[in-house]
Amino acid sequence: MLKTFRGGIHPPYNKDFTKHKPVERAKLPDRVIIPMSQHVGAPCEPIVKVGDLVKKGQKIGEAKAFVSAPIHASISGKVTAVEPKPHPGGGMVMSVVIESDGKDELFEGIKTPKPLAELTPDEIKNLIRESGIVGMGGAGFPTQVKLSPPPGKTIDTIIVNGAECEPYLTADHRLMVERPDDVVLGLEAIMKATGVKNGYIAIEENKPDAIEAIRKAIQAKDGIELVELATKYPQGGEKQLINAVTGREVPSGGLPMDVHVIVDNAGTCAAIANAIKTGMPLVERITTVTGTGVNEPKNLLIRVGTPFSEIIEQCGGFKGEVGKVIMGGPMMGLAQSVLDVPAVKGTSGILVLAKNDVNLSEQSPCIRCARCVDACPIHLLPTTLGKFAERGMWTEAEEYHALDCIECGCCAYVCAAHIPLTQLIRLAKNHIVASKKK
């Protein structure tokens, strides 16, 4: 029986654009813009200056806080700027700009580590930290931090998130089809680093080829199981995935570690495997470039820091009049106002929608149909929270657990009155968090 969670929705998945397209290595970019903040936590401090020559894999941003992750050059060349640049997550972020020398030379400090069997748990965690590995599903939480729970917190289960429930995106799907052994090796490394004996790889049923590839890859592996999930959004949300796989409920205000679980993305596992096999830090990733507004949708292996404009150009450019460009999927992605922003470690996709596919519906009064309540995977009252936000009632919004909202967009998607509930709840969350910092 397929496992799932209560609530959620079934939007059009539109994965046919790219789900059968093998991953292609993108052309070496002429220039990369590498932000010093590509993760949750403290930004890195640049350790290079204008005029420096750098090589691929060389550290260019130092992480000086526990919750942070170092940044590395994704190409070889010359540093031409160290200054704030537009970030796909919004705002201006200190960035290092590197003009390629066309050589793509590897930094001499990159050494192949010992095999996993010879690495100690602390050596694995240090390798993950020094490789700058973060959650690659979009959240960008530093992986080494996730693998280091505070005293008193015990972990007994690791779940690899292979759901990729966001419509349009197929980067993780193709990764699991083409590199299943890397996903499994990354999971084994996490299990060894944390001393956990139970590992699960959870995949939605709409990826049968990925399920089959992973099934073969774990045939001789002790303690690792494949879990087939129902196709439903947001099946890949951490709390929903934990509930579907283990039956456990992460408490309000809690984290997965509160129910003894760590969740890592399939792409994150593959990045860990790559670091173990080659010593290479995280400087490239698979990105799905898709949608009705791009000429040739693809799954591309791109260098971190490549401008969106260059990536889209490698997919034949825009097709007709463009309505919207989004980093990520249509449900949780971020709309972009300029194309000179770089792909970062969490850029799982670039979605280009044709103008005719972008519908701006007029908002009307709530009809109290409760569709948003049925759809909310966290079991919140979105319409009530929305009204609190409209009236500036931040205390009441907090009492109704606004901070538990994962901003999946289900409530806004099903709202018959086209009320931007997700945006209103996000506004409430921002006010609540800001008030706590005073």
DSSP state letter for 68: -
Backbone angles phi, psi at 216, to 5 degrees: -70, -40
Backbone angles phi, psi at 244, to 5 degrees: -65, -40
What residue type is 140 in one-letter code? G
Question: Residue 8 and residue 14: Cα distance in Å, rounded?
Answer: 17
Helix ranges, 72-224 (H): 121-130, 143-146, 171-178, 180-194, 208-217
| Residues contributing to the annotated binding site for [4Fe-4S] cluster | 366, 369, 372, 376, 405, 408, 411, 415
DSSP state letter for 26: P
What residue type is 285 in one-letter code? R
Three-class SS state of 33: strand
Alpha-carbon torsion angle 366, 371, 377, 379, nearest 10: 70
Question: Residue 404 and residue 387: Cα distance in Å, rounded?
Answer: 17
Which among 172, 163, 101, 126 is positioned nearest to 377, based on CA atoms? 163
List C-alpha distances in Å: 359 to 4, 265, 355, 403.
Answer: 30, 32, 8, 29
- In the chain, how long is the greatest CA-to-CA distance? 64
Three-class SS state of 77: strand
Question: Residue 64 and residue 189: Cα distance in Å, rounded?
Answer: 25
| Residues contributing to the annotated binding site | 366, 369, 372, 376, 405, 408, 411, 415
Cα 295 vs. chain centroid, distance in angstroms? Answer: 25
Q: Are strands 59-62 and 45-46 parallel, antiparallel or unpaired?
A: antiparallel
CB 422 within 8 A of CB 411: yes
Question: Residue 218 and residue 384: Cα distance in Å, rounded?
Answer: 46
Q: Residues for the chain: how many in total? A: 438
Pull the structure tokens for residue 160. Answer: 């690899």
CB 136 within 8 A of CB 269: no
Question: Residue 272 and residue 267: Cα distance in Å, rounded?
Answer: 9
Q: Which residue is associated with the tokens 């693998």?
A: 147
CB 288 within 8 A of CB 170: yes
